[in-house]
Structure 1
Amino acid sequence: MCLKQGDAMATKLWITLYRSFLGIYVPEELRALRGEVLLHLSDTPSSMYGGLQKLLALLEPRWVVLTGDLADDIKLEIRPGLLPVYREKMKALADVLSSVPACRSVIVTGNHDDERVVRTSFPKAVVLNRKGRCDADGLELNLSHDFGGLERPYGPLNLFGHNVTRSDFTEGGRRFLNGLVALHAVHIPTGRVFSLPYPKYVNDDRMLRRKTGL
């Protein structure tokens, strides 16, 4: 028993160190589901694009859903003059997502996104302005940049971001997943959800930028 507890503590320490210095820790159980998952993330600073590219190569997700603030280090709502910089960030993100069939990329715009630039950068993706619904191989998705924008009635799987006070939860058989809190990999055949904590640098970048507002 002591050995098992020690092993568990060592594993937990390793995961913490991995997140702090290397990136996104993906358990073997999830790696075995390569090609069968939907990946959800939100409020991504551009510093994460490299890590996202590696994650896409590792999991080969069938769908990718981003629920807003695609370059969370560029606060367009507060500093609209940064639009040219934001446009370049979207080009970089489009390159990262090029490994995913465009029609299987779903992008919800956030308060710091420019819808026109997003639609131009991802011409074949499903782009929703702030909120909407779609079907991903039988998964009924209710999507919004923030929790309050989720359409009613809620769906079986409700994905959002932006809100720092909302964790993932289940209510009345409906799942609510906050992409700001963690990345999510949803196994499409079974609906099982894996929550992957963001690397420490992602949250650090967010907090540094959010001094000027969400």
Structure 2
Amino acid sequence: MDVTTPAGTPAANAPWLVVGLGNPGTEYAMNRHNVGFMVVELLAGRIGGKFKRAGKAQAQVVEGRLGAPGPGSRRVILAKPMSFMNLSGGPVNALRDFYKVPVAGIVAIHDELDIDYGVLRLKLGGGDNGHNGLKSMTKAMGPDYHRVRFGIGRPPGRMQVADFVLKDFSSTERKELDYFVDRAADAVEALVTEGLERAQSSYNS
């Protein structure tokens, strides 16, 4: 049985599984759809880790602790599913089982069309809003995991959504991308060390 606090936060001794959603391969690296990968890669750098294959799971992981050294820091497994986006649920569920993470201890970092570029929204549970990575995760384990939603805005003109998310960030967007990715990483760290409500208060812009 998953053990969580009444607020939906994992118990102090339970690890967090922080999943960046994206597509594997260098050709996708700077796509809007891969912003989740960008955030977990930055977090891995903060804890001094390098991604490695996670046993039989189709994913790469880094294990470490987030937060200031001491009792307030939390054990985390940072993960990048190595399946394509619409199959993310399988690798995430395998990692969940292997590391014995409660569902409420999973954080999915993903691009969000219905939020302006660079704006963040943190929440627990909810629908998938047409996002194939979330749809796959929810099918595999239910909806009651945390989400860090990174706004990418809507496609311009008549551009199809699939084309928009699989294009690289524009040159204008890239001027601020590092700042927004850094801020999203800060939000993840606040979520796992301080809880959802305090993180929402600081980062739901």
Instruction: Check whether TM > 0.5.
Output: no
Instruction: Name which one, 1 or 2, has greater alpha-carbon Rg.
Output: 1
TM-score calculated relative to the size of structure 1:
0.31
Structure that is richer in strand per residue: 1
| TM-score (norm: length of structure 2) | 0.32
- Larger relative contact order (C-alpha < 8 A, sep ≥ 6)? 2
